[in-house]
Structure 1
Amino acid sequence: MKLSSKALLALAISSITATAYAETQSQDFVPTTLAGSSAQSEAKGFIDGQSLGGTTRNWFSNENKFRGQKFTYQKHGQDRTDAYRTNWVQGTILNYSSGFTQGTVGVATEVAAYNAIVLDRSKRDIKGGSNRTLADSDGKAVDQWSKLGLANVKFRVSNTTLTAGRQNFSSGIVDTIGNRALPSSFEGVSFNSEEFSNLSFQGGIFDRVSPRTEQSLTKFVSEYGNGQTTDKVQTLGFNYQPLKSLKTSVFAAHVEDFWNQYYFGATHELGDSSVLGLTTGLNYYKTTDTGSKKMGKIDNDTYSLSLGLTHQAHSLTFSYQEVNGDEYFDYLHETNGIYLANSLTSDFNSPNEKSFQVAYGINMAEYGVPGLKFNAYSARGWGIDGTHYNGTAYGEAGKSRSDLRLMDGEKHQEYGVGASYALQSGPLKATTIRGTYITHRASAQQADGNIREFRLVTTIPFNIL
């Protein structure tokens, strides 16, 4: 990875700041020892350890394109266009988890039913649904639908658990995404081992994904590609905390006939937030093609570096991100496998793109209103250059905006504000309400286009057992 001058400057600022303030955040080394207890030895039994609960989420989004750009939908077999799209869905998850049976090898199961009720069923409003509202082949909303979101069996020895079936999984490359009315999940086998005090291992083999807004299982595709599918995703890695103030993650993934991808992440904390706290974050991905190269030739290094300052209720974060490669920095669709600091409404991940973000947040708990938070950010991307791309996975030559070769010096910018509130007590305790508004502006060939979006999401957790 070759760091740019801006990234080196950010690292220098980090070092200067580190010497300017007292190190109240412990920098002590954390020795690696065996875990102090065994989770399986504390198993309560299949029935005694069971739980039944879930969440219900009201998810509303209104989008408006501008500068002449339009959404397309069909009416009476003809294409129609207008500038807005609205999606409004109520998603509910009912989750049952048994306890682990007692003994050397514990066995448990998890089953979750997902249900969606579409509250805005106008064909014109939903514009085919996309990954927001489930629609039929004619573009009409499926009024109500359900599926098994999770269905798995777990086996545990000591602090190591093997899970087989439909499941959640979280790592820097393969990660469940939950930014719609319902989340995605994966079909396969995974393990999680926490046998050491500060070192854990994770891995998995998955062959299907259950999308956020679909009833069926599908093969994995890439987020930015041309629809090519892969039959198998394998990932393996570890999380390690060498210092009380430093956490790291290392993961690798083999996506059959797509790519091999490697991830390194680190977060370091310094100082005292009551005076001044400093958080430095680094995320780095290396991606290379493999197998039959369905996504074409790939040789991509992408990283982000963030510097966050916290003083009491206030936080200010600066983030620089850079893509080194003639193709998109790509990841698997229906996953959150992009831990880059500038992954916002736009991922700022075009060929050779550089981006910079400034973000501000305030936690009103410091002013007597616990649970209330506000944030605002501004991000800008520039230097996009796809003129050296020679594949077909990211657009065919001459095919308008989908062709990377047309992206020469493109730039874009995104602004956003948000507010959230979490109830602190009462029967609806932990209910969260979040509203966000973003504006994205782009030059002629930048793929994300010109769009404004207002989103309001209310999530209510509940427990039955």
Structure 2
Amino acid sequence: MRPITTTALALSVSAFSALAQAEPASQAFFPLSLKASSEQAEASGFFEGQSLTGSTRNWYARERATRAPLWQYSKSDGSRHDTHSRDNWVQGTILNYSSGFTQGTVGFATEVAAYNAIALERGRAAIAGPNNRTLTHSDGDPVGQWSKAGLANIKARISNTTLTVGRQSLDTPMIAYIGNRALPSSFQGVSLHSAEFDNLSFDLGSFDRVSPRTEQSLSKFRSEYGAAGVETDRASTAGVNYQPFKSLTTSLYATKVDDFWNQYYFGANHVLGDSAVLSLTTGLNYYKTVDEGSKKMGDIDNDTYSLSFGLTHQAHTLTASWQQVNGNEYFDYLHETNGIYLANSLLSDFNGPNEKSLQLSYVLNMAPYGVPGLKFNLYNARGWGIDGTHYRGNAYNVRGMDGETHYEWGIGTSYAVQSGPLKDTSIRATYTAHRASKAQADGSLDELRIVTTIPFNIL
């Protein structure tokens, strides 16, 4: 073991002293109590509470494969050709109308959102479609402009409990909208959100279709990493969010995806100390996945977790995240969802069979230096031990993975306008490099992504 230097020891002592002298985040018990107020009792009326808002997003991504070609494009004669590059540039706009809730014991409301996308890059070879970035025809020719109803639902509310029926947005650990393209995904079905307590809420939901980020029609659910063409008609979820202490939040969810899997999730986040001096944030995410019904995804018995520790001192946050997959298949989740709350889900999800990964990240928040809204981040993640040789199913292409490794690093900056007519406008630029061994599925590539989102209010 290397001896500890005087400088390292001094830093350790000073960090501990700072934590000890900080005004700590409250560790007090948060007693379970009913909310003193009711959202429905404060309803202003259907028209009185209405709003018309929106946003427009300019989304650009430039990708370059650094080893083997990773994509294909179609020529006019229908032939497919390999390519090392992919460029997608789309303008996505959302116009959202939300009514207020009618008054009375039971309130009713509605929400409708129109989604529109314009392809700013329309070269077949450039976009290398079909993909989930630019909508194309089956021959690979881009659709120049398209629209759809992204949201269309009716809501009923009693006290602080709301039932939503129709096309809607949802954010839970296993069924969650994903908004990392020009337009987000949404889901068709029924959900119930109950928040009658100050520190306890419940979610229920059942959905039969997903509205993808880059498609006009509704689709059946499929998995992110499973064999193409394997689909299911329903995904249902139930969960509870509980804050037992002022400094601790927890979530417990279960999801059934018919004939795919049953998946269970536990998450916890704890804060200790004062970020003005030194604070420690600990995050745990755990998923258990087992096959269900007719086992369209084959035999599944998968335990995956991530554990992260983040130290914050004023403008600076340094985080270490460990992630591990215990199972001979991918840790999988539903396509067109953000149902992966693992710490090392980056450009790569670091979710290969039996994979272990470690990420180190640094975030600089410029607010303490007089530039609120400006942030910089830097990270490096490495995954190893990917082994699919013991997999006996047919849903995942992993048997050729034996000791595969990969790594990823990224640098980014973002800025959110703090005031004025462009308040809340955000600009984010990221550069990511991923390098993989021969059989690791993500491949070796570089990506530059620039995203500008401008919100607006009409009514």
RMSD of equivalent CA atoms: 1.3
SS of 1:382 mapped into structure 2: strand
Q: Identify the residue that residue 401 of structure 1 maps to in structure 2.
A: none
Q: Identify the residue that residue 46 of structure 1 maps to in structure 2.
A: 46
- Residues 1:296 and 1:419: Cα distance change in structure 2 (over 3 Å): same
Q: Deviations over 1:55-102 (max 9, x none)?
A: 100000000001233421121222222211000000000000000000
Q: Identify the residue that residue 161 of structure 2 maps to in structure 1.
A: 160
Question: Is the 1:87–1:129 Cα contact (8 Å) retained in structure 2?
Answer: no
Q: Aligned partner of 1:366: which letter?
A: P
SS of 1:196 mapped into structure 2: coil
| 1:422 matches 2:416 | yes
Counterparts of 2:243 and 2:16, CA distance in 1: 23
Counterparts of 1:290 and 1:344, CA distance in 2: 28
- TM-score computed with the length of structure 2 as normaliser: 0.95
The alpha carbon displacement at 1:199 in A equals 0.2
Structure 1: gaps of 5 or more residues = 1-12, 396-403
The alpha carbon displacement at 1:20 in A equals 5.6
Q: Identify the residue that residue 452 of structure 1 maps to in structure 2.
A: 446
Q: Identify the residue that residue 252 of structure 1 maps to in structure 2.
A: 254
The alpha carbon displacement at 1:383 in A equals 0.5
Question: Is the 1:69–1:450 Cα contact (8 Å) retained in structure 2?
Answer: no
Q: Identify the residue that residue 150 of structure 1 maps to in structure 2.
A: 151
- Residues 1:381 and 1:419: Cα distance change in structure 2 (over 3 Å): same
| 1:55 matches 2:64 | no
Counterparts of 1:119 and 1:441, CA distance in 2: 29
Q: Deviations over 1:10-34 (max 9, x none)?
A: xxx9xx9799634611000000011
Q: Deviations over 1:192-250 (max 9, x none)?
A: 00011100000100000000000000000000001310111110001000000000000
Question: Is the 2:18–2:278 Cα contact (8 Å) retained in structure 1?
Answer: no
- Residues 1:20 and 1:427: Cα distance change in structure 2 (over 3 Å): closer
Q: Aligned partner of 2:196: which letter?
A: E
Question: Is the 2:146–2:216 Cα contact (8 Å) retained in structure 1?
Answer: yes
The alpha carbon displacement at 1:424 in A equals 1.2
Counterparts of 2:145 and 2:403, CA distance in 1: 45
Q: Aligned partner of 2:194: which letter?
A: S
Q: Aligned partner of 2:159: which letter?
A: S
Q: Identify the residue that residue 8 of structure 1 maps to in structure 2.
A: none
Q: Deviations over 1:138-180 (max 9, x none)?
A: 1010000000000000000000000000000111111010000
Question: Is the 1:302–1:323 Cα contact (8 Å) retained in structure 2?
Answer: yes
Q: Identify the residue that residue 399 of structure 1 maps to in structure 2.
A: none
Question: Is the 1:289–1:296 Cα contact (8 Å) retained in structure 2?
Answer: yes
Counterparts of 2:357 and 2:71, CA distance in 1: 27
Q: Identify the residue that residue 201 of structure 1 maps to in structure 2.
A: 202
Q: Identify the residue that residue 285 of structure 1 maps to in structure 2.
A: 287
Q: Aligned partner of 2:419: which letter?
A: S
How many residues align? The count is 443
Counterparts of 1:424 and 1:416, CA distance in 2: 26
SS of 2:324 mapped into structure 1: strand
Q: Deviations over 1:333-370 (max 9, x none)?
A: 00000000000000000000000000000011111111
1:381 counterpart (380, 383, 394): 383
Alignment of 1:397-412 (within 5 A): 404-412=398-406
Q: Aligned partner of 1:72: which letter?
A: Q
Q: Identify the residue that residue 340 of structure 1 maps to in structure 2.
A: 342
2:275 counterpart (269, 273, 276): 273
Counterparts of 2:70 and 2:171, CA distance in 1: 35
SS of 2:359 mapped into structure 1: strand
Question: Is the 1:18–1:270 Cα contact (8 Å) retained in structure 2?
Answer: no
Alignment of 1:43-442 (within 5 A): 43-75=43-75, 76-227=77-228, 228-395=230-397, 404-442=398-436
Q: Aligned partner of 2:142: which letter?
A: A
Q: Aligned partner of 1:48: which letter?
A: E
Q: Deviations over 1:366-400 (max 9, x none)?
A: 111111100000000000110000111012xxxxx
Q: Aligned partner of 1:26: which letter?
A: S
Counterparts of 1:151 and 1:17, CA distance in 2: 53
- TM-score computed with the length of structure 1 as normaliser: 0.94
Q: Aligned partner of 1:113: which letter?
A: A
Q: Aligned partner of 2:391: which letter?
A: Y
State the identity %.
67
Q: Aligned partner of 1:388: which letter?
A: H
Question: Is the 2:267–2:283 Cα contact (8 Å) retained in structure 1?
Answer: yes
Counterparts of 1:224 and 1:18, CA distance in 2: 47
Counterparts of 1:64 and 1:241, CA distance in 2: 44
Counterparts of 2:314 and 2:18, CA distance in 1: 20
Counterparts of 1:176 and 1:64, CA distance in 2: 27
Question: Is the 2:130–2:138 Cα contact (8 Å) retained in structure 1?
Answer: no
